[in-house]
Structure 1
Amino acid sequence: MTQVNTRAAHLAAVARMGDLSLQLDGLQGQIARGRRIETPADDPVAFARAALLHREQAAAAATQRGIDAATRRLTATDTAIESLDGVVQRGRELALRANNATLSAADRETIATELRELEAQAHGLADSRDSDGQRLFGGALGDRPAYIVDADGVAHWQGGGRAPALALALGSSQLASASEGPAVFGVTDAIAGTRDLFASFTALRAALAEPDPEARGAAIATGIGDFDTHVSRLADARGVLGARLARLDSETTRLDKAKLATETDLSKLESLDMPAAIARLQRLLTVLEAAQASFTRITNLSLWDQLR
């Protein structure tokens, strides 16, 4: 019976020391990493909650990357439209200057030459691209030039669809990351009596070449109206872009707050209370030392019994 009891005590001591060693190994690993949980075995409930928070972090990071890309594209669009506005404003100034019956044919030709240069600038801005090389004014077809000029010198928008959009939050409407060409440069429609910007430049140059003073005056007056319309359209376009950029700023602020809250929750779940962990480590070492000492005594007693 004594041998049975001694053997049982021996096995219990070995098991106890093994368990303490495992606890020490785990705690030392946590201290080295500075993290409380690494696997589900450390704390199943906390591990599951942390995994969910990490997925939320990944989703928020993906959304932020989309916001950053949309911000760059919208900013580039706004910069292009700002430059285009300067072109249109100058075109309007020239139209007003041309509306003067005392101008000579040479004066009108000088104005027409500058108008031609301004139109070329407008064509260049129509082909503006974002940092990825996509045309800003091509709508969904940003891989091709937004406008082409046919054999008659008439510009045509060859984009299509809507500009790439970003869904900011579940259930929210999508936010377009650019402006389509027609919304910026206008549309030529004979029935509606409207001209796009390129046609407006062409028509104003033609008006300057008109020999009949009365017809020339009427055509220049129409050109002034056209450029007034373009100025207004560009102002509206920049207002829309400004509102979109403000929305993205607000969404970034929201994501930053959510990120901070998530990081705080993760810290509570995963971070290790170092002073408490070290104190526990010291307690486990003390208990292990005591268990080892007890095991030594049990082993010595068992050996003595065998010698007797």
Structure 2
Amino acid sequence: MISLSTGAFYERSATQIGSLRSRAESLQKQIGTGERLERSSDDPVAAARLRMLDREERITAVDTRNADQAENNMRFTDEALGQIATMISRARELALHAANATTSDEQRASIATELDGLRESLLGLANGRNASGHSLFGGQAVGNAYDIDPVTGAATYAGTPTLDLVEIGEGQTIQPGMTGQDVFAFTDAGGASTDLFAQLASLSTALRGGGAGAADAARDALTTLDTGFDKVTTAQTVLGSRMAWLEIMSERRVDNVERITEERSVMGGADPAVTMTRLQEMMTVLEASQASFVRLANLNLFSMLR
């Protein structure tokens, strides 16, 4: 009977001390990691919510990458649009000079040469790339936005008419740039579809022809260039509004990340002060239990009979 009781005493004491040590180790781990949950069973409701927060965080990370890429593309596009607008303004100045009756045919031919240079530069911008090497104005096309005929120099749009939208959070999407048709294509005074490159080439050819026809072509080109300039400035305005919206959504994502961090801390975080206090209490109980076990274990049968 005594041996059974002694065996039960040792077993209960070992189990109790082992449990206290395990709980102390758990508290020490919580202090080290800052997390109070080691397994879902510790708090099933909190664990489920933490999994949802992890999912939200992963989605937010994807939205942030999408937004960063969109912002990068739009900044490159905005810079290109600014340069395009400057070039169109210069082309208009040249056309205005060519329309002047006092301008000689030789001067108009010189103007045509500068217009050719502007057109070439505009095509270079139209086929520009962003930091990742994707066409700025080609939509979803892999190559250049415009194909240029090596013989005639004619430019043909080779991109797609649309650009895929990207997710930037909260179910919101944004078009991360402009297509060539958004910027360079328009309808001329006669109602025909054309683009800036064709109009500049036509004006250059007319100016080289000289005579009254050259002056008339230059005057007609003023309206065309105004239309082209308006198309570009409209694109700048649209792009600016998208960039502003992107900034608003970026601020929302930052707020959302802060909310997730705070809620994760509340749901699964270990309060350092509280956890330290609990650990100190646990260590006190553990030390007392170990001391009691040692004292009781040293008692022999005779001391128990006294």
What TM-score does the superposition give when structure 2 sets the normalisation length? Answer: 0.92
Corresponding residue for residue 15 of structure 1: 15
**For residue 147 of structure 2, what is the aligned residue in structure 1?**
148
| Displacement of 1:153 | 2.4
Gapped regions of structure 1 (runs ≥ 5): none
CA distance in 2 between partners of 1:148 and 1:303 (Å): 103
Range with bigger deviation, 188-197 or 280-289: 188-197
**1:239 aligned residue:** 237
What SS does the corresponding residue of 2:174 show, helix, strand or coil? Answer: strand
Residues of 2 paired with 1:161 and 1:304: CA distance? Answer: 100
Q: Are 1:175 and 1:244, in contact at CA under 8 Å, matched by a contact in 2?
A: yes
How far the C-alpha of 1:205 sits from its partner, in A, is 1.1
| Alpha-carbon distance, 1:293 to partner | 2.4
Q: Corresponding residue for 1:87? A: 87
Q: Secondary structure at the match of 1:140?
A: coil
- Which residue in 1 is equivalent to 2:26? 26
**CA-CA distance at 1:190 after TM superposition:** 10
Q: Distance in 2 between matches of 1:134 and 1:233?
A: 23
Equivalent position of 1:113 in the other structure: 113
Distance, in Å, in 1 between the alignment partners of 2:161 and 2:111 is 37
What residue identity is the alignment partner of 1:227? L
Preserved contact between residue 164 and residue 178 of structure 1 (Cα < 8 Å): no
- The alpha-carbon deviation at position 193 of structure 1 amounts to 3.0
Alpha-carbon distance between aligned partners in 2 of 1:274 and 1:171, rounded to the nearest angstrom: 37
Alignment map for 1:122-201 (pairs within 5 Å): 122-141=122-141, 143-150=142-149, 151-169=151-169, 171-172=171-172, 174-187=173-186, 192-201=191-200
For residue 39 of structure 2, give the secondary structure of its aligned residue in structure 1: coil
CA contact (8 A) 2:203 2:221 kept: yes
| C-alpha distance in 2 between matches for 1:62 and 1:171 | 13
Identity %, equivalent residues: 35
CA distance in structure 1 between the partners assigned to 2:223 and 2:124 by the alignment: 24
Letter in 2 for 1:195: T
d(CA) in 2 for partners of 1:188 and 1:147?
A: 18
Tell me, in whole angstroms, the C-alpha distance in 1 between the residues paired with 2:225 and 2:34.
66
Contact 2:165–2:174 at 8 Å: present in 1 too?
Answer: yes
CA contact (8 A) 2:77 2:136 kept: yes
Are residues 100 and 208 of structure 1, via their aligned partners in 2, closer, same or farther at CA, if it must alter by over 3 Å?
same
Answer whether contact 2:64 2:168 (CA < 8 A) is retained: no
Matched with 1:70 is: 70
Separation in 2, partners of 1:168, 1:306: 76
- 1:61 aligned residue: 61
1:38-69, Cα deviation, whole Å (9 max, x unpaired):
33244333222222212211111110111010
Runs of 4+ that moved beyond 6 A? 188-191, 305-308
TM-score where L is the length of structure 1: 0.91
